[in-house]
């Protein structure tokens, strides 16, 4: 297992500065978030070239392209970050998100990144079954598109979303999808009071990427690993048992006011863990 850090903690920095600082901390990789302020698609070939050069110079890989949110769609931080989604009942909006996801896949191929992560969109209790059907149809389209480019897609569940627990992800990916799996987020599992070891054993090779953060009192607030209630030793042992070889990517956007300190503390904790 290798260690990564998500650039969403560095929202007050440029992407290139964030990559440099994450690399200097010692991480093997960076997760790039495909949203403002760093990379809202589409971007120019010049910017892609700058990112690729920065990755080479700083000797880091891209752990995952996080295509979960699209605040840039409205250019308004007070907007709903998950919408328009792949389950949106508005066909125009849903098609926009489909194209955005395909652009994410294209960029993953260009940056030699193995995976992107996606979410389902906000839960709509009045149209739950319709939204599920629309999301499934969207998954078929993006799965076929990604398969041609050898890119994996990790579905990330989260409380409040249409797909809000691991069982719902399993029910989707256990069907005929070769390149769909789980983007495991430790905090989201803890909020749901799910057993992380059971999830890991169940999904096995279908775990595509892992977000690391701690959690306390089942509150959805990403804490530094070791400052909450998650047993990360047990988590690591469970991942090791299934021969997980992907990244452990610390996702600590809650520490945007002191991202370098958070990156350093998380790195030291995780480095000791995997020893």
The residue extents of the domains of the chain are: 2-274
The pLDDT score that the predictor gives to residue 77 is 47
The pLDDT score that the predictor gives to residue 74 is 79
CA 207 to chain centre: 12
**Residue listed under structure tokens 């969403």:** 8
For residue range 93-107, what is the model confidence (pLDDT) as tens digits? 999 999 999 999 999
Distance (Å, whole) CA 82 – CA 97: 10
Please give the CATH superfamily to which domain 2-274 belongs.
Divalent-metal-dependent TIM barrel enzymes (3.20.20.150)
Pairing, β 207-212 against β 247-250: parallel
CB 55 within 8 A of CB 66: no
Distance (Å, whole) CA 234 – CA 240: 10
For residue range 129-188, what is the model confidence (pLDDT) as tens digits? 999 999 999 999 999 999 999 999 999 999 999 999 999 999 998 767 889 999 999 999
CB 161 within 8 A of CB 188: no
Question: Quick one: pLDDT band at residue 79, thresholds 50, 70, 90?
Answer: low
pTM: 0.95
Give me the mean pLDDT over the 258-272 stretch: 98
């Amino acid at each position: 297992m290798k260690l990564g850090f998500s650039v969403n903690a560095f929202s007050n920095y440029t992407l290139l500065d964030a990559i440099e600082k994450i690399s200097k901390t010692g991480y093997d990789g960076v997760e790039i978030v495909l949203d403002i302020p760093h990379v809202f698609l589409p971007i120019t070939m010049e910017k892609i070239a700058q990112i690729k050069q920065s990755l080479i110079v700083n000797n880091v890989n891209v752990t995952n392209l996080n295509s979960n949110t699209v605040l840039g769609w409205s250019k308004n931080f007070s907007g709903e970050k998950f919408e328009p989604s792949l389950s949106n009942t508005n066909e125009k909006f849903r098609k926009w998100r489909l194209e955005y996801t395909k652009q994410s896949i294209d960029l993953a191929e260009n940056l030699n990144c193995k995976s992107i992560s996606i979410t389902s969109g906000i839960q709509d209790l009045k149209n739950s079954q319709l939204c599920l059907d629309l999301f499934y149809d969207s998954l078929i389209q993006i799965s076929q598109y990604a398969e041609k480019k050898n890119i994996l897609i990790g579905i990330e569940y989260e409380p409040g979303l249409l797909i809000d627990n691991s069982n719902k992800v399993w029910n989707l990916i256990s069907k005929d999808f070769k390149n769909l799996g789980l983007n495991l987020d430790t905090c989201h599992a803890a909020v749901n009071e799910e057993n992380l070891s059971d999830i890991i054993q169940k999904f096995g090779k279908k775990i595509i990427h892992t977000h690391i953060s701690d959690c306390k009192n089942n509150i959805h607030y990403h804490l530094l690993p070791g400052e909450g209630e998650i047993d990360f030793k047990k988590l690591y042992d469970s991942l090791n048992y299934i021969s997980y070889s992907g990244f452990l990517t610390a996702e600590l956007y809650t520490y945007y006011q002191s991202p370098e300190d958070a990156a350093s503390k998380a790195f030291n904790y995780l480095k000791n863990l995997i020893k």
